[in-house]
Structure 1
Amino acid sequence: MQLFYNPKIDNSAAHFVFSTEESKHIVKVLRKKEGDTLHITNGKGYIFEAKILSADLKKCKVTIIDTDKKIQKMHWLHMAVAPTKNNDRFEWFLEKATEIGVNEITPIICERSERKVIKKERLEKVMQSAMKQSLRAYLPKLNDAIPMTDFLAKEHNGLLFIAHCEEEEKMDLKRRVAADKDVTILIGPEGDFSVPEIKSAYENGFWPVSLGESRLRTETAALVACTTVNIINNG
């Protein structure tokens, strides 16, 4: 099954017209014709089965013949991750996290961050492609990049964790996470969080966790954390 994405479709839709770009891809590249079926998600939990009414290169029109609402998991996973200096690595994390399962991602700018600006539109496209490739019905929410101090000042519910490299006693994340509980995890930049940032996180209710014995890259640490939470909730 190949999945298309359009956020404008809702569960009351009867017909839909694809954009010129998507119409050309459907008709010319995929060689779909009238009567063929397609699957579309709005990224909000719905997957629509549609039949092509008009295989037009500019305006491919379909009619919705079935609607499937996917149940969202009980837990909400929010990853707050410092963007990496190499943008490709951060895009890799977003792609894999979307495939594995994450609900919300906030890029946080820290004292030692080497990248302080992100191209949100490009990153959203990476996540959309990953959602379609992995046949997921929910598109994770990507927030604007904000300073870590501003992020900590916000209200956060559920289990709150910070993974850092400072030497101190930490419990493994897999022992801290509980199934069906909302989780927010802080992952720092290549140079790690500063000591004042770690202290501030503690003061705002975040607990230190270990992701294993190895020192991990930012994007690797974020993906390990994401995977750990999903394994516990899918176990």
Structure 2
Amino acid sequence: MRLFFSQNITDNRGFLSPEDSRHVVKSLRMKAGDEVNITDGKGICYSARIEDANFRKCTFSIYGSDRIEKNWNFYLHIAIAPTKNIDRFEWFLEKATELGIDEITPILTENSERKRIKMDRCERILQSAMKQSHKFTLPKINELIAFSDFIENTSQEVNKFIAHCYDGEKTDIKNIQTPDRLTIVIGPEGDFTQEEVSLAQNANFTPLSLGRSRLRTETAAVFACNAAHLNAS
């Protein structure tokens, strides 16, 4: 299946982004009348035919659609401090999308070494990973937010966990019975400060253990994502 992404669909017609248009026309050498599968990132797979094979703006008409449910039955939200090496953060975005994730929030912590991210690039990575893994639901990525604001914004949520490296009583991730909605917070390369951990715990975040190995930020986040899926299955 060749799957493409478009947010530009109206009245059973639409067009692809310049990047996808170029790929369809120049690389795949598809022509008018050829069939393609399109998703809007909202769980719909459209069956379509190319109308105008223009490498700048490839248009298509839709002749059928199916709703494709997620292959996981819970809502997974991971908040993560972007890594100094942006390639590692982008690797997390790609792999989490392949595994299955609903929402990602980049957070700015006391020990964060990266204080800016390019949202448009993050969106493109998520879209590409969604297409390559044949998923039909595009993860939501939020703007970078201060850790304290994130804690405040999630005050009404339950089933929320914070992974950190300090000693103390923690819930092992393999013992979590994945609920309808799960929020996991992953810290920066220098870990959260004690004050940040206390702030989260006072807001009813449960300390979380990811095992005995010390993991990189992006590895910890992918591990947490996969563990949530394994627990749910």
Please give the TM-score of this superposition, normalised by the length of structure 2: 0.93
Give the Cα separation in 1 of the matches to 2:163 and 2:18: 45
Cα–Cα, structure 1 residues 23 and 113, in superposed 2: closer, same or farther, change >3 Å? closer
Q: Give, in whole Å, the separation in 2 of the partners of 1:35 and 1:168.
A: 63
CA contact (8 A) 1:74 1:180 kept: no
> 1:79 is matched with which residue?
78
Aligned to 2:164: 164
The aligned counterpart of 2:64 is: 66
In 2, the alpha carbon distance for the partners of 1:205 and 1:35 equals 56
Aligned-partner residue type, residue 30 of structure 2:
K
Q: 1:6: how far off? A: 1.1
Rate the CA distance shift 1:126–1:58 in 2: closer, same or farther, 3 A. Answer: closer
Q: Name the structure 2 match of 1:42.
A: 40
Contact 1:158 1:181 in 2 (8 A): no
Distance 1:28 1:226, change over 3 A: same
Runs of 4+ in structure 1 off by over 6 angstroms are: none
Q: Which runs of 5+ in 1 are unaligned?
A: none
Task: Give the counterpart letter for 1:87 in structure 2.
Answer: I
Shift of 1:9: 2.4
- Identity in percent: 48
Shift of the 126–46 alpha-carbon distance from structure 1 to 2, 3 Å rule, reads same
Work out the CA distance in 2 between the residues paired with 1:221 and 1:20.
Answer: 35
Query: How far is 1:119 from its partner?
Result: 1.1
1:18 and 2:16 correspond: yes
Relative to 1, partners in 2 of residues 1:124 and 1:196: Cα closer, same or farther, differing over 3 Å? same
Counterpart Cα distance in 2 of 1:68 and 1:17: 19
In structure 1, distance between residues paired with 2:143 and 2:88: 18
Distance 1:228 1:134 in 2: 19
* Gap change, CA 1:217 and 1:158, over 3 Å in 2: same
Report the counterpart of residue 200 of structure 2 in structure 1. 201
Measure, in 1, the Cα distance between the counterparts of 2:22 and 2:125: 21
* Preserved contact between residue 54 and residue 61 of structure 1 (Cα < 8 Å): yes
Q: Mapping of 1:16-165 within 5 angstroms?
A: 16-72=14-70, 73-155=72-154, 156-165=156-165
Aligned length: 231
Q: 1:188 corresponds to which residue? A: 187
Does the residue aligned with 2:9 lie in a helix, a strand or coil? coil
CA shift in 2, pair 1:158/1:181, >3 Å? farther
Kept after mapping to 2: 8 A contact 1:98/1:131: yes
RMSD, aligned CA:
1.6
